[in-house]
Amino acid sequence: MIVRDKPTKLELAFAVRGSIVPAIAPRIAVLMVFSAVMVLLHNTLPTFPEIDAIGFTVFGIALSLFLGFRNNAAYDRWWEARKLLGGLLADLRSFAREVQLFVSDRASQEKMIRLSLAFIHLHRANLRQLPNDPQAKALGGALANAPHPPNAALDAIAEEAAWAYRAAQVDGFGAKALQERLGSITQQQTACERIATTPLPYVYSLLIYRTTYLYCLLFPLALVGPAGWMTPLFVGIVAYVFLGLAEVTEDLSHPFGTTPNALPLDAICRLVEISLAPHLGEKAPQPLEAKEFYLS
């Protein structure tokens, strides 16, 4: 995720890090070259067709509505994912406190807290589809090889809590509180997986990109007459707006990825490490900092 203060006017004009420009620049260049060819043909061929610009106004409004709808749907996914990760952070902090409050055996306390730390890293690796993530493997151990590693970590916590209850290391009220906290963690985890494994319907992307390219390819026919050699510039601006918004929605619709606009899962996991370190009697690590405005 890009983290930076309010940009200056100069940064607004020339900032590349976090911008969608690198992803769409080649396509904009192709469309501008195509527009230049259309201008050349218009100046060469007397019978070159021209289209009235009014039709493109209606076309552009319809395309804007499509893009607006998809942008809202993509942002809803991104924002829901952020709230779910915040809920997981709160649940894991509360879980560590409840373990120390209700479980009397220190070894059992430490085991459950370390398993919860393994869980969040296994969950991160699972959301990002990183089967060989070194940190998740180091913390998860044999759990990293389970069919569903984060779920295996929660199962191991439940088994430890059950052992503590049978060994009279935790009373019935404490066991119930821990079970409810694990249930809340599971709900947040499952909701994250629902977002990660259920993308926006492919037909939306297909419709948006086809319509955008169709608009940008036909637009020069309305500009070659009145705009002349300024046509490639105008087409480039229009393509930047429409293709840029389409690409942004593509980024936001995958909130757990590693793109500049995805959520900072590594930084959130580090916050969990910082929060749980005092409960383990360890020194808390430093928060992750953005590198070139990018926080992973």
- What is d(CA 46, CA 295) in angstroms, rounded to the nearest whole number? 56
In a domain, 12, yes or no: no
In a domain, 3, yes or no: no
Task: For residue 134, give its domain range.
Answer: 19-280
In a domain, 104, yes or no: yes
Query: Which residue in 163, 135, 160 sits closest to 149, CA to CA?
Result: 135
Count the domains in the chain. Answer: 1
Q: Are 91 and 185 in contact (CB under 8 A)?
A: yes
- What is d(CA 59, CA 217) in angstroms, rounded to the nearest whole number? 13
In a domain, 287, yes or no: no
In a domain, 75, yes or no: yes
In a domain, 87, yes or no: yes
Q: Are 296 and 258 in contact (CB under 8 A)?
A: yes
226: tokens are 């009145």
Which pTM does this prediction carry? 0.86
DSSP 86-154: HHHHHHHHHHHHHHHHH---HHHHHHHHHHHHHHHHHHHHHHTT-TT-HHHHHHHGGGGGSSSHHHHHH
In a domain, 49, yes or no: yes
- What is d(CA 61, CA 289) in angstroms, rounded to the nearest whole number? 41
In a domain, 234, yes or no: yes
pLDDT tens, per residue, the chain with 296 residues: 666 666 666 666 556 666 777 888 899 999 999 999 988 888 888 777 777 767 677 777 777 787 888 888 889 999 999 999 999 999 999 999 999 999 999 999 999 999 999 999 999 999 999 888 898 888 888 898 999 999 999 999 999 999 999 999 999 899 999 999 999 999 999 999 999 998 888 887 888 888 888 888 888 888 888 888 898 999 898 888 888 888 888 888 889 988 888 889 999 999 999 999 999 988 988 987 877 666 77
